[in-house]
Structure 1
Amino acid sequence: MKLSCVVIDDEPSGITMVEDLIGQTPGTELRSSFDNAFDALNYFHNHGPVDVVFSDISMPFINGIEAAKLLEVHCKFLIFITAHRDYGPESYEVNADGYLLKPLMRVKFTELVNSLLEKKNKSRLLYMQKDCLLIKGALKNNYVNILTRDILYIKALANYIQVILTAETKTTHMGLIDMERALNGNHAFLKINRSTIIAVDKIDRIDGYYVVMKDEERFTVGRQFKPAFNEFLSQRTINK
């Protein structure tokens, strides 16, 4: 398991410094780097969230502190990197997960990465209960408990997913792959296309490669998912 990372710094030397450390530190992988927060936000809109954002604070147009509220919904951890010690209190006011001073020291960077990996491992344990899922809510350090028996289907939308329940809908900023891992081995759920996981007991009917759910929502089975879907039908059909 690795931490996916994005770097934001208006100085090329600052970007290079963090990129080099990411490349030298086990457990991390660089997704992209940007010289301003706006381009990073556009990236998240198109490609989804990452685990860690390493952001400089002193930047033109919008600094790291001001951008924190916009960035934190697109990452599990927001780490500020700056040459100015006096930003410490402000960084914690916006719920930053770490604060590193330039020039960066490899030991300090590695210690921070290891602590984030440990937090990520612990957070994954939240999803491993058989009969319920604990998903991140709209606010930082806020979680919502969901009973798996109430799930109709799960849809990926841009940089978040929607969990459609029998009585309501819950939204959480995480990738569908994380939900797949959480449901791994749970045969009550089936992924039928790149953006949809369904609860098989909530299927109303199947028309060829179209699945209609109890709420009449209709999904198409993706080409690469047809073999698994056919196997599912073979195992569940009585009068073949």
Structure 2
Amino acid sequence: MLNCIIIDDEQFSVDSILKYIELLPKLNVIAIYNNPLHALENVSNDDKIDLIFMDIDMPFLSGIDLAKALRSKTQKLIFTTSHSKYAFDAYEVEGDAYLLKPFTFGKFSTTIARLFPIEPKTKITEASSDDDYFMVKNKEEDLRIVKVCYKEVIAFESFHNYVKIHLASNKILTAYLTIKDILELLGSRNEFKQFHRAFIISTDCINYIEGNTIRMDNNLSFTVGESYRDNFTSYLSNKLLKTARKR
């Protein structure tokens, strides 16, 4: 687990970072500062900080000046800013990365992966991995943070400003996310496919296919979208068992 601190005077920027952090279980937020002076006063070497996310353009004290005081108290420092003009200054104070707002979850996650690469496992007993699950705030449980194993997911469904996560237990989680966020989360996981603009499904949980209609194990069904027909046909041609017998 990596302990991290967020220093940003704009709450919507803090919320954006928190939203991404929730999708990376190895990150643990131990403090948030909207005032850089409070961060200067309170961040201590005793906090065992692995990572600081720091805005640059802040009142009273800039992120560049604050970094001069705090850089030695953290293993890694990521600047998050709306201005590209500070890139050289960030380098001068030994910033490890520079995320230009608004940045995507893909950019965020690859930056974390670069700064904190996963060490290869040496023991067979270490079978579980952070990659086996993700965590979301469930709207239906007063934003309780819920751990979700990928193998439990039947489908992700876009629903207004949320995404419904259909689980094998028939439970449905509702998270303040977009389908784009889900695609970035899933990355190269081959078991998940998108055959409709509103659905990303686990192909392991397909019950049957009838024409262009896909029905899942939980009886969720949808028709393959027009713009996804080629991907669907390619998937089906690779998976459909055919006889080699001559007609």
Q: Give the structure-2-normalised TM-score.
A: 0.49
User: Displacement, 1:153?
Assistant: 0.6
RMSD: 4.2
User: Displacement, 1:76?
Assistant: 2.7
Q: Aligned partners of 1:140, 1:99: CA distance in 2, in Å?
A: 28
Query: Conserved in 2, the CA contact under 8 Å of 1:130 and 1:186?
Result: no
Residues 77, 182 of structure 1: CA spacing in aligned structure 2 closer, same or farther, 3 A cutoff? closer
Q: Which residue among 76, 80, 90 is the counterpart of 2:16?
A: 76
Query: Conserved in 2, the CA contact under 8 Å of 1:52 and 1:77?
Result: no
User: Displacement, 1:169?
Assistant: 1.1
Question: Which residue is 2:162 aligned to?
Answer: 160
Secondary structure of the 2:201 match is strand
| Residue identity (%) | 18
Q: Give the aligned residue type for 1:135.
A: V
User: Displacement, 1:206?
Assistant: 0.4
Q: Give the aligned residue type for 2:79.
A: N
Question: Which residue is 1:221 aligned to?
Answer: 224
Query: Conserved in 1, the CA contact under 8 Å of 2:11 and 2:34?
Result: no
1:74-128 Cα shifts (integer Å, max 9, x gaps)? x6369xxxxxxxxxxxxxxxx997369xxxxx832784993475997369969x9
Question: Which residue is 1:237 aligned to?
Answer: 240
Q: Is 1:149 the equivalent of 2:151?
A: yes
Q: Which consecutive unaligned segments of at least 5 residues does structure 1 have?
A: 1-50, 55-71, 79-94, 101-105
Q: Aligned partners of 1:239, 1:171: CA distance in 2, in Å?
A: 39
Q: Which residue among 181, 190, 193 is the counterpart of 1:190?
A: 193
1:37-67 Cα shifts (integer Å, max 9, x gaps)? xxxxxxxxxxxxxx9748xxxxxxxxxxxxx
Report the number of matched residues. 151
Q: Aligned partners of 1:224, 1:125: CA distance in 2, in Å?
A: 33
Q: Give the structure-1-normalised TM-score.
A: 0.51
Secondary structure of the 1:186 match is coil
Residues 125, 234 of structure 1: CA spacing in aligned structure 2 closer, same or farther, 3 A cutoff? farther
Alignment of 1:1-240 (within 5 A): 53=12, 76=16, 98=34, 107-108=57-58, 111=63, 114-115=79-80, 117=99, 121=108, 129-138=130-139, 143-167=145-169, 168-239=171-242
User: Displacement, 1:176?
Assistant: 1.1
Q: Aligned partners of 1:195, 1:213: CA distance in 2, in Å?
A: 15
Query: Conserved in 2, the CA contact under 8 Å of 1:77 and 1:96?
Result: no
Question: Which residue is 2:3 aligned to?
Answer: none
